[in-house]
Amino acid sequence: MQVNEYKPLIVAFCCNWCSYAGADLAGNNRLAYPADVKIIRVPCSCRVNPMFILRAFQRGADGVIICGCHPGDCHYTSGNYYTRRRMAALFSMLDYLGIEKERTRVEWVSAAEGAKFAATMNDFAKTVASLGENKRLEDLRCKK
């Protein structure tokens, strides 16, 4: 009998100008990464509201990754700098609440870095899979 392998659910927010294009490039070059990764396109990484991330976790995502242009290369000049501060603060808070810090990540992927995109997603999916299902964000309230 085949053992049902655990498949994590990963939501990736990608900025339209760099990382989404980087993901496209990974596709163009046929660089495989797990199908567990589902990409949501946003104009800029700074469009990602912490509410989206928490909502994803709430609805059962096991990991959330945010990809944007490298600092200094933002299409909108400064968007990713705000992302950097916001996510540093938010991820630190999630860690403080005892949520595994490996479930969240910010990665800068340029439109030329198809290989980096695929490698990042492979690595992230592996990390999240090793953590198993995301329970903590769901059951913080209800003591077992």
Partner 1 sequence: MQKITRDQLVSKASELLSNGTVCCVLGWGMGEFDYDVTPTVFNTVEELNNGFVFNDFCGANFSKYLVSKAAKCDGKILVLLKPCDTYSFNQLLTEHRFDREKVYVVGIPCEGMADVSKVKAICGEGILAISSNGDNINVTTLYDENPIVINAADVLAERCVNCKSKKHVAYDELLGDEGEVIESNRFDEVARLEAMSADERFAFWQNELSRCIRCNACRDACPACTCEKCVFDNPNSGVENKSPANSFEEKLFHIIRAYHVAGRCTDCGECSRVCPQNIPLHLLNRKFIKDINEFYGDYQAGEEVGMRAPLVNYTTEDLEPGEVFDRGADNA
Partner 2 sequence: MQRVGVFVCWCGSNIAGTVDVEAVSEALKSEPGVVFSTNYQYMCSQAGQDMIKDAVKEHNLTGIVVCSCSPRMHEATFRKTAAAAGLNPYMVEIANIREQCSWVHKDVLTGTEKAIILGKAAVAKVNLNTPLIPGESPVTKRALVIGGGIAGIQTALDIADAGFEVDIVEKKPTIGGKMAQLDKTFPTLDCAACILTPKMVDVAQNEKIRIFSYSEVTEVQGFVGNFDVTIKKNARYVKEEICTGCGACVEKCPMKKIPNEFNLGMDNRSAIYIPFAQAVPKVATIDPNACNMLKNGKCGVCSKVCAAGAIDYTQKDEYINEKYGAIVVATGFNPISMDKFDEFAYNQSKDVITSLEFERLTNAAGPSAGKLVRPSDGKHPHTIVFVQCVGSRCESCAEKGKEYCSKICCMYTAKHAMLTRDKYPDTEVYVFYIDVRTPGKNFDEFYRRAVEEYGVKYVKGMVGKVTPEGDKLKVQASDLIANKQLHIDADLVVLAAAIEPDKSARPLATMLTASMDTNDFFTEAHPKLRPVESPTAGVFLSGACQGPKDIPETVSQAGAAASKVIGLLAKDKLTGNPCVANSNELMCNGCSSCANVCPYGAISYEDKEFRMPDRTTKVRRVAVVNPAVCQGCGACTVACPSGAMDLKGFANSQIMAEVDAICK
Sites of contact with partner 1 (CB under 8 A): 50-51, 54-55, 57-58, 71-72, 78, 81-82, 84-101, 104-106, 136-143
Report the run of H or E that residue 14 belongs to, with start and end: strand 10-15
Q: Which is nearer to partner 1, 32 or 140 (CB)?
A: 140
CB of 58 to partner 1, least distance (A): 5
Which residues fall within 8 angstroms of residue 93, CB to CB, at 6 or more apart? Answer: none
b/e code 43-52 from CB counts within 10 Å (16+ = b) = ebbbbbeeeb
Residue 57 Cβ vs partner 2, minimum distance, rounded to whole Å:
9
Tell me which of partner 1, partner 2, none is bound by residue 11, counting a contact when its beta carbon lies within the kind-specific cut-off of 5 to 8 angstroms: partner 2
> 3-state DSSP call for residue 56?
helix
Closer to partner 1 by Cβ: residue 24 or 73: 73
User: Which of 26, 66, 67, 128 forms a contact with partner 2 (CB under 8 A)?
Assistant: 26
- Cβ contact 15:42 at 8 Å: yes
